[in-house]
Amino acid sequence: MSVPAITTSVGSFYLSRSHGNRAMPRFRMAVRSGAVSVTPILTNLQRDCATPLPVLRHVADAMAADMRAGLAIDGGSDLKMILSYVDSLPSGKERGLFYALDLGGTNFRVLRVQLGGKEERVIATEFEQVSIPQDLMFGTSEQLFDFIASGLAIFAQKEGGKFELQSGRTREIGFTFSFPVKQLSIDSGILIKWTKGFAVSGTAGKDVVACLNEAMERLGLEMRVSALVNDTVGTLAGARYWDDDVMVAVILGTGTNACYVERTDAIRKQQGQVSSSGKTIINTEWGAFSNGLPLSVYDREMDAASINPGEQIFEKTISGMYLGEIVRRVMLKMAEAGDLFGKSVPQKLFSPFILRTPDLCAMQQDASDDLQAVGSILYNVAGLESNLSTRKIVVEVCDTIVKRGGRLAGAGIVGILQKMEEDSRGLIFGKRTVVAMDGGLYENYPQYRRYLQEAVTELLGTEISRNVVIEHSKDGSGIGAALLAAANSKYAHDF
């Protein structure tokens, strides 16, 4: 059975919410000692979040410098620059049946793909998603991996039609595991800690591939993991399968990350690392970048109140999880200090993360004369009554935060390309170079996409930017993991 794909750890963004039903809001009265105009609040916000070309250039240069420092020594910069141990990228020659398992949240997804080599490429794909029971998120390692293995077994039993395992082969899996891992090889990695609401006992410090392989053995399921990858690396591999010019992959969704193809001789902290191709994929973990970012008081307050204050600052300025919350904090300030929403401030507006990035997107898409959709969203989400001038100010706030996010993301991409260009002596900007993008924020927010592209063009100039193709690669990480299982298969010599 095929079902719609779930998104990966850093790729989710859109959840449906109806704005049609107007429920009566609960009000919390805010007593103010004299209202002031909201204009200075908006002016200060726009000044603090401005991203003129010199700011973008500084961010791009700092990103490139932090990449080099992170490659020189562990802890050399904010960027972890993690080795993926992927030195065999999909070539198109791969043949046979391969599986992928994507574990990155409260669901896991299983996928199979039948590959037909250069001529037929992807013959067929099929996938299912399985919800993880709440109790297993707090259970033991053995319980969780036994449940995942049983889901794999049920999915494998439905194999048929165009899916056929060649005689004498064991089914191989690409395992997308989107939790903090210290990767040891292409098919092993130690779990550093669980995140995203998981508190499974007995896994931290263990090889997650071994945990899965042992669970499959307990079930008598003849499968083995041949590639352990993170979702961004999977996106690059999935896009590279179709286009040899793909050099970078970026996920912009609830969270964000980027990876790129690096020469092994440039990785000073891993001298002696052997690679048959002389290249590997580096997972930058760029959400931790923080150098020279234009931040407002609202960013600092949100960061201080977060579960990881002082960390993931780039992610907190450009990713889908946080854009709506920054806007909410600005609106709350305008409601309390100014007269934006009248004399009372609804209780809802005090709730962190009640305003989500899809709400910002919907408000920015409103082209009606009276901004009716904006008014409806403000009322239904936060209990706010608004007139046209109020709605215009809210849209202006949304645009300020989203413009900064998109332009900073564009500067980050240029920073990666700049570092690659300097090392390759002109082999990046002098030819077609593709950046594969995935994630709901990039896919579903047209203004964000436009601001990102504009920043890239401004930084590189019209001539060079023509060679840099920023391309959407929808749900590339799932099939990318299966393709990496194929590229690193023990049967690769048969292809």
pLDDT along the chain (495 residues), means of 10: 36 43 41 61 97 98 98 94 88 89 87 88 90 92 96 92 83 90 91 85 94 95 93 92 93 93 88 73 94 98 93 95 97 88 88 96 96 96 93 97 98 97 85 94 97 98 95 83 90 62
Q: Encoding tokens for residue 25? A: 């809001």
The architecture CATH gives domain 85-229: 2-Layer Sandwich (3.30)
At residue 69, the pLDDT reads: 97
Q: What is the dihedral of CA 20, 12, 57, 289, to 10 degrees?
A: 130
8 Å CB contact between 57 and 418: no
Q: From 454, 484, 414, select the one nearest 250 (Cα to Cα).
A: 414
Strand 246-252 to strand 345-346: parallel, antiparallel, or no bridges (unpaired)? unpaired
At residue 427, the pLDDT reads: 79
Give the residue numbers marked as catalytic. Answer: 196, 231
Distances (CA, A) of 317 to 88, 187, 411: 34, 33, 13
| Burial class for 210, CB neighbours closer than 10 Å (0-12, 13-18, 19+) | middle
Provide the residue ranges of all domains of the chain, joining segments of one domain with +.
Answer: 38-82+243-474, 85-229
At residue 3, the pLDDT reads: 34
- Alpha-carbon distance 103 to 399, whole Å? 34
CATH topology of domain 38-82+243-474: Hexokinase; domain 1 (3.40.367)
Task: Tell me, rounded to whole angstroms, the distance of Cα 118 from its chain centroid.
Answer: 30
Q: State pTM to two decimals.
A: 0.87
Q: Encoding tokens for residue 281? A: 């994929």
The residues near 358 (Cβ < 8 Å, ≥ 6 apart) are 13, 14, 15, 17, 324, 444
At residue 286, the pLDDT reads: 96
Q: Encoding tokens for residue 339? A: 């007269």
Distances (CA, A) of 257 to 230, 378, 411: 10, 31, 14
At residue 187, the pLDDT reads: 94
